[in-house]
Structure formats: structure tokens, C-alpha cells
Amino acid sequence: MKVSKGYVLPMLLIIALGAIGFGYAWWTEQLVINPGTVNTGDLNVKIVATGTQWGGPGMPLWQPLYFHIKASNVTASWDLSKEIYNPPCPPGAWAGNTLTITIGNLYPHGYTQVGISFPVINIGTIPAKLESVVLTVTSGSELVPYLKYYFGVKHYSARNATGHRTLLWSYFTGGESVPFKDFDELDDELYSALSGRVLMPDEVFSFDGEEGEEGSIGFRLIGTTPNEFEGKSITFTLTFNFKQWNA
């Protein structure tokens, strides 16, 4: 049978559209009926607190969440939003996004009075980037104009076949010989330092150091703090929010 050329293109177009519609319907059905066929991964980056050193068999690269107390009279404590309990964290660990820190009995001083160390670990299955850091003072806000900080952070690789990690990058704001920075800028600098880094699964941002040295977050009251604030306490929270790396 002869088919007029005028009908060939419309017929081909109808066939093509029908194939597209069938393909879309099949894909949609697969997506809805069998959601397991679409793997979006697990976005999960947490501050992790452990009861022991953790970092690889025979080679721990950081301590559990802990304080360096450099002034004998200063007190410090922490609490962590326990959103996940192991696994996949190490035995005896818990993890969350929000860390609450209380520093007590502060007094004016020219040096570090207390430092805190902890790891932030990608315990999910997809790469992540920092979306925001939120600093909230819940009590003792009168100390904020006189409280200073510095911090150091290290980016470690995922564990290799022997359980060891490699240092990929580090950042340090200063230290004992470098002027500390205003406390209310801490969240902004944490974001500025870390937001450009992609944290792959099992990689770590480690705030860890010895005696308040590079790799922890250190605090002090400046020497010109009015006497009425001596011995006071401050409580604040740090929340780390992460997003998918390519979002």
C-alpha cells in the first residue's frame, strides 16, 4: 500500500511520543512501586563523643570529646544531643549536631583557660559540605564582650585498609602568641574555614590538640574584664548543619 509522504512524519511523531510516554510511565512506576531502585544515599554528619581514643587500630588520631583545663580553678562541662547511638559510631559512642558547653569560674587572664576537642565525622554514605554553624548563648551573655577564642581544625581522610587516616588539610586561627578573636565571631569563622571542604564518607573534621594547642577550640577572658565578672559562668551551644556536597 502506498502511503502519502504527508502522513509519514505525523505517524512517526505519534510513534515516538508513544514510546516516550511508555518509557516515562515505566520509569515512574519503577520509582513509585520499587523505590529501592533509586538510591539517594544517607546524609549523616555528626559530632561524635566516645569513651576511648578512636582513629584506627594502634593509631588513634584523636581523643574522645574532652576539655583541656589550663587554669586550675576553671570548670567545664559538655552535653551532646544524642541523636544517634552506635553503630556506625565506635562502641560506647553517641552523636549529634548540637554541642552544649558550660565554662565556669572564669577570671581575667592573658592565656588560654580552657580548650575543648572533638571530632565531626561523616558517618553517612554520601559526600557532605557544611551548610551552617549556629552559636547560641543560653546563659552568661554578659561575658560575651570579654570572651575570646581561637581554634584549630584538621581534615582527615577515611580509614584505609589498615585502619589509618591521612591528614588532608588543617586550619589554625592563632594561639598563645596570637591575639584571640571575639567570641561572637566563632560561628562565622568556623563556617568560613570549613564550608569549602567536601567531607567524604568516613572522613573527619577533628578539633583535637594537646593542652589547647593547634586542633582544639580555646577560650579565655581578656585581662581588662571588669572585676564583677570574675568567677562567672557561660553556657552556649554550637550546632553544625551539613548538606549534600553538590546541593
Report which of 63, 48, 45 is spatially closest to residue 94, judged by C-alpha positions: 48
pTM of the predicted model, to two decimals? 0.76
Cell of 26: 515505566
Average pLDDT over residues 109-136: 89
Average pLDDT over residues 206-231: 77
Residue-wise pLDDT for 74-118, tens only, equals: 888 888 877 765 555 665 667 889 999 999 988 887 676 788 888
pLDDT at 215: 57
Amino acid, single-letter form, for residue 152: G
pLDDT at 138: 97
Tell me how far CA of residue 26 lies from CA of 31, 33, 39, 202, 209, in angstroms.
9, 10, 18, 36, 55
Tell me how far CA of residue 72 lies from CA of 69, 83, 105, 113, 180, in angstroms.
7, 33, 10, 9, 21
Mean of per-residue pLDDT scores for the chain: 76
Cell of 156: 582527615
Is residue 46 pLDDT above 70, yes or no?
yes
Tell me how far CA of residue 78 lies from CA of 67, 75, 157, 236, 243, in angstroms.
9, 11, 27, 10, 25
Binning the chain into helix, strand and coil, the percentages to the nearest 5 are 20, 35, 45
Cα–Cα dist 49/181, whole Å: 26
Is residue 119 pLDDT above 70, yes or no?
yes
Where are the chain's structural domains?
A: 5-37, 45-244
Cα–Cα dist 183/114, whole Å: 14
Three-state secondary-structure class, residue 210 = coil
Is residue 228 pLDDT above 80, yes or no?
yes
